[in-house]
Amino acid sequence: MTDHTNHTARAKEWFEDLRTQITNEFEAIEREAGSDASFMFTPWQREEEGNADPGGGVQGLMKGKVFEKVGVNVSTVRGNFAPEFAGSINGADAENRSFTATGISLVAHMANPHVPAVHMNTRFLTTGKAWFGGGADLNPPIPYEEDTGEFHAAFRAACAAHNPTYYDKFKKWADDYFYIPHRQCHRGVGGIFYDHLEVADDAAFERNFAFTKDVGKTFLEIYPKLVRRRMDAEFTEADKQTQLEWRGRYAEFNLVYDRGTLFGLKTGGNIDAILMSLPPEAVWS
């Protein structure tokens, strides 16, 4: 079996570096808006009985003038899945429950309803197998075709640089995944979602790590552009109501269907970091 210790360390280093780049850019946007808001970083340690090194992470949270609430979290955890949960994870079962997971997770809820909310996550996991997963999706309360088109075009180009089949496959995966069955609607306007890009050897690691890094870089290139385009737009009370209602849909998806939320809760993650994805305010009419 391949030793993925070095792979995990390299992925962890990248996720932490990407976190720094993103938080710096988001703080720069706040400065442009005349705000001195900054991220507060809160370390946390995971606990698992009988595990001397269960890992942990850092929750990054900012509440500002442009970003009403944005969380950028990184974590690296290791241990054993509960027997009843292990069977739902790639490469694990009730008899083989050990895992290591490192990743970055980001959710931004915006003050101006014309600015799209967004989610981005990339991760590297090892069980009996090892793989990358992640993606990014746009969640505008008030969609603009221009913004949606540019967001998808950026990720289409990122995918095409690695595999001509990736964009169509991963866009469909996002469309299928970010769907709220009981509402019969999508959470937003989509993006890409991928999982189980398996790492059987060093060559596969390099190939899939390069793609995962480009997902993060693409997010950093396209999303701040969309924020700057819309953050000064005037909005009405009706616009704000629309935003709050769509935030309710976002919360429903994350609490009922999101696999990342379930993974965090089932592996003893930090509750505040896991639920940072929830909006600061929402309504159900």
**Is residue 7 over pLDDT 90?**
yes
Q: Is 115 helix (H, G, I), strand (E, B) or coil?
A: coil
Q: E strands of the chain, at which residues?
A: 40-45, 55-62, 67-80, 98-110, 117-126, 130-139, 179-180, 185-186, 190-198
Please report the pLDDT score of residue 280 as a whole number: 96
- Farthest-apart Cα atoms in the chain, separation: 59
Please report the pLDDT score of residue 44 as a whole number: 95
Q: E strands of 140-223, at which residues?
A: 179-180, 185-186, 190-198
Domains, in order of start, for the chain? 5-31+51-277 (3.40.1500.10)
> Which residues, 6+ apart, have CB-to-CB distance to 46 below 8 Å?
54, 55, 56, 57, 77, 79, 267, 268, 269, 270
**Is residue 1 over pLDDT 60?**
no
- For helices 145-160 and 166-177, give the axis angle rounded to 10 degrees: 130
- Half-sphere exposure for 131 (CA within 13 Å, toward CB): 14
- Round the average pLDDT of the chain to a whole number and report it: 95
Q: In Å, how far from its chain's centre is CA 227?
A: 17
- The pLDDT tens digits for 12-66 are 999 999 999 999 999 999 999 999 999 999 999 999 888 889 999 999 999 999 9
Backbone angles phi, psi at 151, to 5 degrees: -60, -50
Q: Is 249 helix (H, G, I), strand (E, B) or coil?
A: helix
Backbone angles phi, psi at 34, to 5 degrees: 80, 20
pTM for the structure as a whole: 0.95
Residue 103: name the closest of 82, 80, 72, 128 by CA.
72
Of 4, 109, 114, 119, the active-site residue reads: 119
Residue range 217-226: mean pLDDT, rounded: 98
- The pLDDT tens digits for 120-173 are 999 999 998 999 999 999 999 999 999 999 999 999 999 999 999 999 999 999
DSSP string covering 8-39: HHHHHHHHHHHHHHHHHHHHHHHHHTT-----
* C-alpha separations of 155 from 82, 94, 147, 168, 279 in Å: 36, 37, 13, 11, 25
* C-alpha separations of 258 from 180, 253, 261 in Å: 10, 6, 6
- The pLDDT tens digits for 257-283 are 998 898 888 888 889 988 999 999 999
162 part of the active site: no
